[in-house]
Structure 1
Amino acid sequence: MRWSIRTQILLTLTAVLGFGLLASYIATSNVTRGAITEARVQQARNITALAAERFMGVRAEGLALAETLARVRPLVEPDHLFLLGPDLDPMADAPAQRAAFRQLVRPADLVPYYHRQTRHGFIKSLSGEPLLVVLAPVDSAPSRLGRSSRSKPAAVALLAPLEATIAEVDRIDNLYVLFMLVILAMAMLLGYVLLGRIVVQPIYDLIRSVERVGGGEFSSGIAESVATGEFSQLFGSFRKMTGQLLSDRQKIQRQISELEVANREIETAQERLIRTEKLASVGELAAGVAHEIGNPMAVLQGYLEMLADEGLPEETRREYVEQMQRSVTRISGIIRELLDFARPTEDAHGEGDATLAVRSAVKLCDPQKRFRDLEMACEGVEDTLPVALSTGRLEQVMLNLLFNAADASEPGQRIDVTVRPREDEVIIEVADQGHGIDDEGLRRIFDPFFTTKDPGQGTGLGLAVCYGIIQTCGGSMDVASRVGEGTTFTLVIPRASGI
């Protein structure tokens, strides 16, 4: 359970205030109890001393003691006043009064308080109730107990039950507890209202403003609040921060717009570069197939000259026509493959078939003169392997890699092309047994305009373009080479989504 900040602060303040009030109650209760008890004792001592003075000089004969005692007792009610003889037993009292005395205390209980000066103490009555005892001697030099005349008063005893005093103390304690509870309740109510206005409301205003800013509503700014002091400074700082964020956001948006324009320009330039490199590949292919087309054309020309002979047998004529058709078919196939490769790719960022692209590239390379003395082997091109790159773009990459492999190889060497799936990727490797690339060349192999070929033999853009094509689909292109042992290019292309 998570409590709100208002609840947490209110509970904390309540605990602190409650602790303070409790400590105050304990201290005040003890002081109050002591003060009331002290006042009660002092009152009892004064009354007892005054009563003792009244009995000084009063003759024991006759009714003098009883009359004096009868006049004094109403003044001390509800306390009990007794005139004690030397044996600390009531004297000059009726039997009812003597019985009341014996229900409260025993004479032996009063012995510790019989002294030449007024003394007091607290004892338990015979019924177990708390009792205040005050003894004041009638004579300043009291005789020893039991030895003076039994008719001569020895002391005045005041027996004051403390139930009323204790009840008064408890009543004051209860009033103080009630007073503390009222103060605590009022403090909580006042704290609730003030916390809501001074602390909670500004925090809620700030939270709403932060949520709006977090949602992108910079223009709405921060709501006006009744906050003062540190909260006012916080709101001011937040307004400055929001303004700075808005300014930074506008700058970022402008930069994003500029980057989008620059990115479109880069994409356009890259597309042009790819088309240019593709046209260069088409030129190389066209130069390579010229000889392949020239031979069938020469055959056609020879057969046409022989068909001009009117005496040529019909069977021989049909044989010549069939040979001419085969030559035309071969020429048509070579030209169609070249045109298919040269055709612009409609969906450069679409999906394609890796094995189809490899087979098409190898088929285009077969008629080339540079591949005539090389052995080329393909592995894993039988099954369809959809990839996240168009077939035309992948075919262009493969042609460039095969051309480079052929240029680096000597007659009789081998070029291996391997295609294999790996989890969500397709791996294509082109390995040759050529002269290899040194460490400096490997570090710069994908840099634009860098080439290891002789001057005039390459633009240095082929591998850079291939690297960019593979990067656009989220793939990677790596090279491993050792001088004199050959080079291996590895393409890692993501498989098409949904596969």
Structure 2
Amino acid sequence: MKKASWLFKRLDLSLRTEVIINISLLMLAAILLIGFTTTKTNEKNILQEKTKNAEAIVQDIQTFFEFVFRDRKGLTLNHPIIKEEIQDFINIYNKERNFYNLIITDSDGKVIASNKQQWVDRNFKPLLLERSMKSNTREIELEKGNGLWIPEYRKLTISSPLWIQKKMVGGVLIELPLSDMMRRLIEYQRMFLTLIILDSIVLIVFGSFLLSRVLVKPVKELVSLTKKISEGNLNQTIEVHSNNEIGQLISSFNRMIEQLREKQEKIEKHLESLELANKKLKETQEELIRSEKLASIGRFAAGVAHEVGNPLGSILGYTSLLASEGVDKETGKDYLKRIEKEIERINRIVRELLNYARPTKFEIKEVEVNQIIENTLSLLSYQKSFKNIETRLEFQPHLPPIQGDESQLSQVFMNIILNAVDAMPQGGTLRIKTEECIVGNGFSTKFSEGDRLVRIKFSDTGIGIKQEDLKKIFDPFFTTKDPDKGTGLGLSVSLRIVESLGGEIKVESEPGKGSTFEVYFPVSQ
């Protein structure tokens, strides 16, 4: 059926033609099966009839033998009188039956009588007759050739031993023509082929008309309507003309259109509300990120002020010296160069702070993780609490880029670094390591095996996190710090940013020994 369907698709046939062809093929297969079975049954019956006739002929010859030797107990098959009577019987029998060969031999294989005189008194013992006389049973053999529909039967050979007073004295071999059987089978074939042709014509003519009225026309209407529905037109239906399966299908289709129309209206209204809610949610999330960013700025603003205050003090001192009398020209130039150097230092600090704090439009592009971490550390280096921290950087050279927004990634790294600094109030070591890794067996992440990732590992030697708090550190507003040191939103916002970029954060911590944050991002393709 798969091949047939492929053929119909290639021929681009109509539904009516395809149904008629399929039904015709099924009917043809059924008729051929019935015809083949009937032919074989007919063939078997004719063969059985022919076999029974051959056995009846053998029985007639055996009866004749018993009659001939009834009062002649001292005579044998080779006695002239016996041979003459047997030959006369065969001549008469052959005229009625028209055998190919009818041969009677004695037990030694000498021909006693035959329908062909040239065989008489000759030694002739074919294999079938010899096998029959040895086994003391009748043997039957069919000679046939290959035919297109039925075998080409040529002749039927039967052999049997002959007895006189329960003693085997010879044998008989009979070859019967099967031409009349072949004629009967061929006539049946012709009749069967005629029946197939007539049935096919009736089926095509009347089947085409009935299928077109009952099935094809309603299906075409359904197809036309489905095309309109695919184009978005849900305002049309089909008129129902009957209560059969096709009518029920059309009714169901009409109900489906009505339900689709109602659901489409509901979906459109729901989409409008979702778009509005999504817009508000996005605005709220962006505002939350900005708020946390401003909170981060406030946390290290004092450190920045201290860093700006030192060069300002130097500038004030140099300007006082310049204003005093007695400063020669060369010394004045030296003071001015020092003032310029301190101003450049202040300008660099303020510019870095403004670059971080300035509202930016988020832009997803290929970014270098190592460079973003260096820029973030440069900005944090002005923090007073950062002075007692030893920073160890282990950056993989030529680290593959990732897809992300520089401002958002800087905010994530700053939140994690500031938390690490707060966890080491008496000073300590902050180790930052970047490397490329490939997801393998036992790699507990949301990524698939074989994925290429960039891993950023932040390790500190701080006070650590309690086990009961580990599950809550990413919850909004959860914090263990004093109110003036944190809002509890830093890690929550960081997690949202990382997950929005397709990444993942993992945390390990042991109280008294420190914490390790691992951030994973897929490599940019």
Q: Does 1:180 align with 2:195?
A: yes
Post-superposition Cα deviations, 1:157-194, rounded to whole Å, max 9, x if no partner, equal xxxxxxxx99x999996996576345413332223443
- 1:347 — aligned with what? 362
- 1:407 — aligned with what? 422
Which residue of 434, 438, 455 corresponds with 1:419? 434
Shift of 1:198: 3.1
Shift of 1:244: 2.4
- 2:255 — aligned with what? 240
Q: Does 1:331 align with 2:346?
A: yes
| Residues 1:23 and 1:382: Cα distance change in structure 2 (over 3 Å) | closer
- 2:308 — aligned with what? 293
Shift of 1:449: 1.0
Distance 2:318 2:238 in 1: 95
- 1:441 — aligned with what? 469
| Residues 1:477 and 1:246: Cα distance change in structure 2 (over 3 Å) | farther
| Residues 1:345 and 1:174: Cα distance change in structure 2 (over 3 Å) | closer
Shift of 1:6: 4.0
- 2:326 — aligned with what? 311
Shift of 1:202: 4.3
Q: Is the 8 A contact 1:419 1:428 kept in 2?
A: yes
SS of equivalent residue, structure 2 residue 484: coil
Over the aligned positions, Cα root-mean-square deviation in angstroms equals 3.9
* 1:241-390 correspondence to structure 2 within 5 Å: 241-380=256-395, 383=398, 385-390=400-405
| Residues 1:292 and 1:248: Cα distance change in structure 2 (over 3 Å) | same
- 1:470 — aligned with what? 498
Number of equivalent positions: 377
Q: Does 1:229 align with 2:236?
A: no
Which residue of 457, 472, 476 corresponds with 1:429? 457
Q: Is the 8 A contact 1:202 1:225 kept in 2?
A: no
Q: Does 1:194 align with 2:196?
A: no
* 1:43-54 correspondence to structure 2 within 5 Å: none
Distance 1:14 1:236 in 2: 35
* 1:44-123 correspondence to structure 2 within 5 Å: none
Q: Does 1:128 align with 2:144?
A: no
Gaps of 5+ in 2: 6-17, 45-86, 100-179, 439-451
Q: Which letter maps to 1:492?
A: Y
Post-superposition Cα deviations, 1:191-216, rounded to whole Å, max 9, x if no partner, equal 34434443455455545655665x46
Distance 1:227 1:23 in 2: 41
SS of equivalent residue, structure 2 residue 293: helix
| Residues 1:127 and 1:458: Cα distance change in structure 2 (over 3 Å) | closer
Q: Does 1:8 align with 2:36?
A: no
Distance 1:420 1:169 in 2: 92
| Residues 1:341 and 1:201: Cα distance change in structure 2 (over 3 Å) | same
Distance 2:262 2:523 in 1: 43
Distance 1:173 1:376 in 2: 104
Shift of 1:405: 0.8
Shift of 1:349: 3.3
- 2:520 — aligned with what? 492
Q: Which sits farther off after the overlay, 345-354 or 292-301?
A: 345-354
| Residues 1:391 and 1:173: Cα distance change in structure 2 (over 3 Å) | closer
Q: Is the 8 A contact 2:399 2:436 kept in 1?
A: no
SS of equivalent residue, structure 1 residue 305: helix
Larger Rg: 1
| Residues 1:383 and 1:107: Cα distance change in structure 2 (over 3 Å) | closer
Distance 1:127 1:492 in 2: 102
SS of equivalent residue, structure 2 residue 426: coil
Shift of 1:465: 1.3
Q: Is the 8 A contact 2:43 2:185 kept in 1?
A: no
Q: Which letter maps to 1:430?
A: F
Q: Which sits farther off after the overlay, 403-412 or 174-183?
A: 174-183
| Residues 1:484 and 1:196: Cα distance change in structure 2 (over 3 Å) | farther
- 2:446 — aligned with what? none
Shift of 1:28: 12
Q: Is the 8 A contact 2:464 2:514 kept in 1?
A: yes
Gaps of 5+ in 1: 31-105, 112-122, 130-164
Q: Which sits farther off after the overlay, 184-193 or 399-408?
A: 184-193
Distance 1:404 1:169 in 2: 105
Q: Does 1:482 align with 2:482?
A: no
Post-superposition Cα deviations, 1:420-472, rounded to whole Å, max 9, x if no partner, equal 23464322222211111223322122111111212332111111111122222
Q: Which letter maps to 1:2?
A: A
* 1:14-33 correspondence to structure 2 within 5 Å: 14-16=28-30
Distance 1:495 1:23 in 2: 71
Distance 1:438 1:373 in 2: 24
Q: Is the 8 A contact 2:385 2:425 kept in 1?
A: no
Distance 1:288 1:350 in 2: 32
After TM superposition, the score normalised by the length of structure 2 is 0.62
